[in-house]
Amino acid sequence: MAYVRVYFISLVIFIFCDFIWLRFIAKSMYSNYLGYLMGDVVWWAVIVFYLLFIVGLEYFCIMPAITAGSVVQALFSGALFGLVTYATYDLTNQATIKGWPMIVTFIDLLWGSFLGATVSAVSTKTALLLKL
């Protein structure tokens, strides 16, 4: 049951962070650099990505950090997980889409690392405080 509670805590933190990022920071960047590729949001794909990302983050980063009682472990493993997952998307695009902007890849890799680290560390700290 603790896994489910931690999952929902992590999901809420992730959605909050990504909403702030997409709504107030990255929206104009993506429009500026990738406007020629942008269309309507495919919500089922967004939802599936969010749900799967949190599964991976919880399994590989958050639960091991909770077991170890280490927010620092969560921070570093979350950063690595975020980097690897966002790199999968961006570097594949860099390799296969003509004209894919390098700046988008760079910024996304930084964001993925920050997001993974933040969600993992805050979720772990919350779970430890709540003794989940």
Domain ranges for the chain: 2-130
61-110 residue pLDDT tens: 999 999 999 999 999 999 999 999 999 999 999 999 999 999 999 999 99
99-123 residue pLDDT tens: 999 999 999 999 999 999 999 999 9
13-59 residue pLDDT tens: 999 999 999 989 888 889 999 988 888 989 999 999 999 999 999 99
| Diameter over CA atoms, the chain | 49
The Cα 68–Cα 53 span in angstroms is 22
